[in-house]
Structure 1
Amino acid sequence: MPASAPEVPALPVTFRPTRTRFVLLTVGAVMFVVITAVALLLENLSAGERSSFVFTAVLFLGVLTLLSRPKVVADTSGVSVVNITRTRRLEWAEILRVNLRPGDPWVFLDLSDGTSLPVLGIQPGIAKQHAIRDARALRALSESRGSSDAH
């Protein structure tokens, strides 16, 4: 990411891949409706077979809903990183750097314990400019609220 001086957003702020989320939830809902309609329209299916169709539709919708979950919530005390199955709360001082390099699938946070945390809530997938803007805003917040004070 080029080093420009992005505007520091007002807190609290939530970053999420809105286009990706919209696509996943729309596809999940459409798949649920289509599979359920097929189960109800096929006359030769038993009740058990119909229920397995509906169960499969619910399973697809559940997986796509889970994949649409990632987000980052920043407030005055720190950042909550919500990835697919885990949520991690970080204090501002724990975040040393916000990285989104060319080719990265999402933002990575370099942390004070020497580890790196993937942040799936900011991903360039189908909205690259939106992700770059969000990554710059999160970097500006991190630099203004924590890492420069802690180190």
Structure 2
Amino acid sequence: MSAPDAPPVPLPSLPVTFRPTRTRVVLYAVGIAQLAALTAIALALPKLSGGERISFILTGALVLAVLLLLGRPKVVARPEGVTVVNLTTKRELAWAQIVRVNLRVGDAWVHLDLADGTSLPAMGIQPGIARDQAIRDARALRDLVENHGAVDHTAL
């Protein structure tokens, strides 16, 4: 939150996408390095059969696919509402459906309290590697929710 004397922080212009950029860079780099290493090993070992070489490369591709999946989460705010993309799910929300944006100490990611009484994890804003950026993103999303019609937003 800003100090009373500080000028108000302007709302980000829509559409805006929140995602854990540093985490994605690490995941993608590790996945590509893993695939490259396993491919190099498969090609460098002369006593491997064709099937063994393929299994090395497929293992590297599988590791890369899992890491790409872990890098998928994002939160997209548009004039119409918010899209939350988590590992395997995608959910479209109208602004009025979001009651509160929560990022408490120790949370792995933001949680959105919804008007129907449920909570939706928004894994696209996570403080893992970039805590300060996640706090800024959570506050920006909270401010957008407040500006676009939700009721109570005091949980940051």
Bigger RCO (CA 8 Å, 6+ sep)? 1
Which of the numbers 23, 36, 39 marks the counterpart of 2:26? 23
**Aligned partner (choices 133, 141, 146) of residue 144 of structure 2:** 141
Paired residue type of 2:27: L
Within 5 Å, give how 1:55-134 maps onto structure 2.
55-134=58-137
Normalized against structure 1, the TM-score is what?
0.94
SS in 1 for 2:144: helix
Report which of the two has the higher share of helix. Answer: 1
Change (3 A) 1:6 1:108: farther
Q: How many residues align?
A: 147
In 1, the alpha carbon distance for the partners of 2:142 and 2:35 equals 39
Deviates more, 1:137-146 or 1:3-12: 3-12
- Runs of 4+ aligned residues of structure 1 deviating over 2 Å after TM superposition are 2-7
Per-residue deviation at 1:146? 2.1
SS in 2 for 1:61: helix
Whether the aligned pair in 2 keeps the contact of 1:108 and 1:116 (CA below 8 Å) is yes
Offset of residue 8 of structure 1:
1.2
TM-score by length of 2: 0.91
Runs of 5+ in structure 1 lacking a partner? none
2:11 to 8, 11, 17: 8
Tell me how far 1:3 sits from its aligned partner: 6.7
Whole-angstrom CA distance in 1 between matches of 2:87 and 2:105: 23
Q: CA RMSD in A?
A: 1.1
1:7 Cα deviation after fit = 2.6
Instruction: Report how far residue 39 of structure 1 moved.
Output: 0.4
Q: Secondary structure at the match of 2:65?
A: helix
